[in-house]
A and B are shown apart, each in its own frame.
Chain A
Amino acid sequence: MNFTDYLFFPVFAAVIIVYFVVPQKKRWIVLLAASIVFFLTWSLEMFPFALFAAFVAWIAARKIEKRYEALNAYTKKQKKAVTKKQTDLTQETKKKCRHILWIAAAVILFMLIYSKIQYVMADIPVLSGIVALLSDLYCTVSRFFEKIPILSYFASDTAAQEGGQFSFLVPLGISYYTLSLVGYLADVYWRKERAERNFGKLLLYALYFPKILEGPIAKHRNIAQQLNEGGNFDYTRLCHGLQRMLWGYFKKLVIADRISLLVTEVYGNYTEYFGTVLFVATVAGAVQLYCDFSGCMDIALGISEVFGIELEENFRRPFFSESAAEFWRRWHITMGVWFKDYIYMPLAVSPKLIRAAGTVKKRAGKRAGKNFMTIVPLAVVWFLTGLWHGTGMNYIVWGIYWGALIILSSVLEPELKKLTKLLHINTESSGYRRFRCIRTFLLFCVSRVITIPGNLHATAEIFRRILFHFSPWEFFDGTLYTIGLDRPDFLLALLTLFILYLVGKKQEQGIAIRQKVDSLFLVWRWLIYLAAIFAVLIFGIYGAGYDASAFVYMNY
Chain B
Amino acid sequence: MNCKILIRMTSFIFLFTLLFIAANSFMLPNWNDWDNSDRLNGFYKEPENKIEVLMIGSSVIANSMIPMELYEKYGICSYNLGTAQQPVMVSYYWLLEAYKRHPKTLKTVIMDASIIRYEPPLEYYRGAVDSMKFSQLKYQAVTDYTVNGGFQKTMSYFVPLFSYHSRWKSLGKEDFYEKYDKTANIKKGYQFEVDRYYDEDDYDRLPVPLYYADRDAETEELNSEGLEYLKKIADFCQEKGLKFILIKTPVLIQWNVSEHNAVQSVADTYGIDFLDFNFAPLCDEIEYNGAMDSADGLHMNYYGAQKITEWIGNYLVTECGVSDVRKNEDYHYLDSQLEQFHTDVTDIMRLQEITDPAEYLAEASVLPDCTVFVTVNDEAANSMTEEQREKFAALGLPLLSKLEFRDSYLAVVDRGEVIYEMSGHEKASVHESEEEPEQTEPAKELTESIAWQNTLDNGIFCSLESAGYYQGNTASCRIDGIEYAQEERGLQCVVYNNRTNRVVHTAYFDTHLFSEREPWDLRSALRDAIDSDQNYMELPDDQLKLYLYNRRCDNARFAAQLRQDADHEEFLSFLQAYQEKEDTAVFLAVKGDASGLLDEEAKEMLRQYGLLEYAEMEDGASYVAVIENGKAVLERSGGEQRPIFHNGGYYMLQSGGKGTEDCGYISINGIKYTASEGIQIVIYDMVSKTVQNRALLGQDAVFEMLEL
Write the residues of chain A forming the contact surface with B, with a CB cutoff of 8 angstroms: 5-7, 156-157, 233, 235, 486, 488-489, 526, 529-530, 533-534, 537-556
Among A489, A526, A537, A546, contact of B126 (Cβ-Cβ < 8 Å): A546
Which residues of B from 132 to 160 have beta carbons under 8 Å from A?
Answer: 148, 150-153, 155-156
- Which of B12, B155, B164, B166 has its CB near the most chain A CB atoms (within 10 A)? B166
A-side contacts of B177, CB under 8 Å: none
Check if A538 sits within 8 Å of B161, measured CB to CB: yes
A-side contacts of B311, CB under 8 Å: none
A-side contacts of B127, CB under 8 Å: 551
Check if B168 sits within 8 Å of A556, measured CB to CB: no
Among B155, B163, B168, contact of A539 (Cβ-Cβ < 8 Å): B168
Check if B166 sits within 8 Å of A546, measured CB to CB: yes
| Distance in angstroms between the alpha carbons of A537 and B23 in the assembled complex | 9
| Distance in angstroms between the alpha carbons of A417 and B339 in the assembled complex | 92
B-side contacts of A6, CB under 8 Å: 151-152, 155, 162
Check if A538 sits within 8 Å of B23, measured CB to CB: yes
From A549, which residue of chain B is reached at the shortest CB distance?
Answer: B170
| Distance in angstroms between the alpha carbons of A539 and B171 in the assembled complex | 13
Q: Mark B505-536, 1 if CB is under 8 A from A, else 0.
A: 00000000000000000000000000000000
Given the known inter-chain contacts A546-B164, A546-B166, please indicate yes or no for A526 contacting B12, CB distance below 8 A.
Answer: yes
Among A157, A530, A541, A544, contact of B15 (Cβ-Cβ < 8 Å): A530
A-side contacts of B60, CB under 8 Å: 556
Check if A7 sits within 8 Å of B151, measured CB to CB: yes
* Stretch of B98-106, B114-122, B180-188, B369-377 with 4 or more beta carbons under 8 angstroms from chain A: B114-122
Check if B169 sits within 8 Å of A550, measured CB to CB: no
Given the known inter-chain contacts A235-B1, A551-B29, please indicate yes or no for A537 contacting B123, CB distance below 8 A.
Answer: no
Write the residues of chain B forming the contact surface with A, with a CB cutoff of 8 angstroms: 1, 5, 12, 15-16, 19-20, 23, 27, 29, 31, 33-34, 58-60, 84-85, 114-115, 120-124, 126-127, 148, 150-153, 155-156, 161-170, 254, 298
Question: How distant is B75 from chain A, measured CB to nearest CB, in Å?
Answer: 31
Check if B165 sits within 8 Å of A551, measured CB to CB: no
Question: How distant is A7 from chain B, measured CB to nearest CB, in Å?
Answer: 5
Check if A543 sits within 8 Å of B162, measured CB to CB: yes
Among B12, B20, B126, B169, contact of A488 (Cβ-Cβ < 8 Å): B169
Question: How distant is B26 from chain A, measured CB to nearest CB, in Å?
Answer: 9
Among B34, B152, B161, B254, contact of A5 (Cβ-Cβ < 8 Å): B152
Check if A555 sits within 8 Å of B169, measured CB to CB: no
Check if A551 sits within 8 Å of B1, measured CB to CB: no
Question: How distant is B259 from chain A, measured CB to nearest CB, in Å?
Answer: 14
| Distance in angstroms between the alpha carbons of A55 and B254 in the assembled complex | 65
B-side contacts of A538, CB under 8 Å: 23, 27, 161, 165, 168
Check if A235 sits within 8 Å of B156, measured CB to CB: no
Question: How distant is A239 from chain B, measured CB to nearest CB, in Å?
Answer: 9
Check if A546 sits within 8 Å of B122, measured CB to CB: yes
Among B16, B34, B121, B169, contact of A533 (Cβ-Cβ < 8 Å): B16
From A233, which residue of chain B is reached at the shortest CB distance?
Answer: B1
A-side contacts of B126, CB under 8 Å: 546, 551
Contacts A/B (CB < 8 Å), 21 sampled: A6-B152, A7-B151, A7-B152, A235-B1, A526-B12, A526-B15, A530-B19, A538-B23, A541-B166, A542-B165, A543-B163, A544-B156, A546-B164, A551-B33, A552-B33, A553-B34, A555-B85, A555-B254, A555-B298, A556-B58, A556-B120
A-side contacts of B15, CB under 8 Å: 526, 530
| Distance in angstroms between the alpha carbons of A400 and B153 in the assembled complex | 44
Question: How distant is B482 from chain A, measured CB to nearest CB, in Å?
Answer: 15
From B150, which residue of chain A is reached at the shortest CB distance?
Answer: A157
A-B contacts besides A488-B168, A539-B168, A551-B124, 7 pairs, CB < 8 Å: A235-B1, A530-B15, A537-B20, A542-B162, A544-B153, A545-B166, A553-B84
- Which of A233, A550, A556 has its CB near the most chain B CB atoms (within 10 A)? A556
Question: How distant is B444 from chain A, measured CB to nearest CB, in Å?
Answer: 41
| Distance in angstroms between the alpha carbons of A157 and B114 in the assembled complex | 36
Check if B166 sits within 8 Å of A548, measured CB to CB: yes
B-side contacts of A552, CB under 8 Å: 33
Check if A543 sits within 8 Å of B168, measured CB to CB: no
Main secondary structure of the interface of B (DSSP, over half): helix
| Distance in angstroms between the alpha carbons of A488 and B166 in the assembled complex | 11
Check if A548 sits within 8 Å of B58, measured CB to CB: no
From B36, which residue of chain A is reached at the shortest CB distance?
Answer: A551
Question: How distant is B13 from chain A, measured CB to nearest CB, in Å?
Answer: 11
B-side contacts of A553, CB under 8 Å: 33-34, 59, 84
From B60, which residue of chain A is reached at the shortest CB distance?
Answer: A556
From B155, which residue of chain A is reached at the shortest CB distance?
Answer: A6
| Distance in angstroms between the alpha carbons of A537 and B165 in the assembled complex | 7
| Distance in angstroms between the alpha carbons of A233 and B6 in the assembled complex | 13
Enumerate the 5 nearest inter-chain pairs by beta-carbon distance, A residue then B residue, closest first: A556-B85, A551-B123, A556-B58, A488-B169, A543-B162
A-side contacts of B23, CB under 8 Å: 534, 537-538
A-side contacts of B166, CB under 8 Å: 541, 543, 545-548
Question: How distant is B94 from chain A, measured CB to nearest CB, in Å?
Answer: 16
Question: How distant is A160 from chain B, measured CB to nearest CB, in Å?
Answer: 16
B-side contacts of A488, CB under 8 Å: 168-169
| Distance in angstroms between the alpha carbons of A538 and B170 in the assembled complex | 12
From B86, which residue of chain A is reached at the shortest CB distance?
Answer: A556
Question: How distant is B194 from chain A, measured CB to nearest CB, in Å?
Answer: 15
Question: How distant is B191 from chain A, measured CB to nearest CB, in Å?
Answer: 10
A-side contacts of B254, CB under 8 Å: 555
| Distance in angstroms between the alpha carbons of A15 and B408 in the assembled complex | 72
Check if A546 sits within 8 Å of B123, measured CB to CB: yes
| Distance in angstroms between the alpha carbons of A537 and B29 in the assembled complex | 16
Question: How distant is B80 from chain A, measured CB to nearest CB, in Å?
Answer: 15
From A487, which residue of chain B is reached at the shortest CB distance?
Answer: B169
B-side contacts of A537, CB under 8 Å: 20, 23, 161, 165
Check if A544 sits within 8 Å of B163, measured CB to CB: yes
| Distance in angstroms between the alpha carbons of A538 and B16 in the assembled complex | 14
| Distance in angstroms between the alpha carbons of A545 and B156 in the assembled complex | 11
| Distance in angstroms between the alpha carbons of A489 and B151 in the assembled complex | 28
Question: How distant is A553 from chain B, measured CB to nearest CB, in Å?
Answer: 5
- Which of A157, A486, A537 has its CB near the most chain B CB atoms (within 10 A)? A537
Given the known inter-chain contacts A489-B169, A533-B16, A544-B156, please indicate yes or no for A550 contacting B123, CB distance below 8 A.
Answer: yes
Among B20, B114, B155, B167, contact of A556 (Cβ-Cβ < 8 Å): B114
Given the known inter-chain contacts A7-B151, A548-B166, A551-B29, please indicate yes or no for A556 contacting B84, CB distance below 8 A.
Answer: yes
From A4, which residue of chain B is reached at the shortest CB distance?
Answer: B152
A-side contacts of B165, CB under 8 Å: 537-540, 542-543
B-side contacts of A486, CB under 8 Å: 169
A-side contacts of B58, CB under 8 Å: 556
| Distance in angstroms between the alpha carbons of A554 and B127 in the assembled complex | 13
Question: How distant is B12 from chain A, measured CB to nearest CB, in Å?
Answer: 6
| Distance in angstroms between the alpha carbons of A420 and B58 in the assembled complex | 76
| Distance in angstroms between the alpha carbons of A206 and B166 in the assembled complex | 38
| Distance in angstroms between the alpha carbons of A529 and B161 in the assembled complex | 18
Check if B16 sits within 8 Å of A530, measured CB to CB: yes
B-side contacts of A526, CB under 8 Å: 12, 15
A-side contacts of B151, CB under 8 Å: 5-7
From B191, which residue of chain A is reached at the shortest CB distance?
Answer: A553
From B35, which residue of chain A is reached at the shortest CB distance?
Answer: A553
| Distance in angstroms between the alpha carbons of A235 and B254 in the assembled complex | 65
B-side contacts of A544, CB under 8 Å: 122, 153, 156, 162-163
Question: How distant is B394 from chain A, measured CB to nearest CB, in Å?
Answer: 41
Question: How distant is B222 from chain A, measured CB to nearest CB, in Å?
Answer: 16
A-side contacts of B115, CB under 8 Å: 556
From A525, which residue of chain B is reached at the shortest CB distance?
Answer: B12
Given the known inter-chain contacts A537-B161, A538-B23, A553-B34, please indicate yes or no for A548 contacting B167, CB distance below 8 A.
Answer: yes
Check if A235 sits within 8 Å of B5, measured CB to CB: yes
| Distance in angstroms between the alpha carbons of A533 and B122 in the assembled complex | 28
B-side contacts of A529, CB under 8 Å: 12
A-side contacts of B29, CB under 8 Å: 548, 551
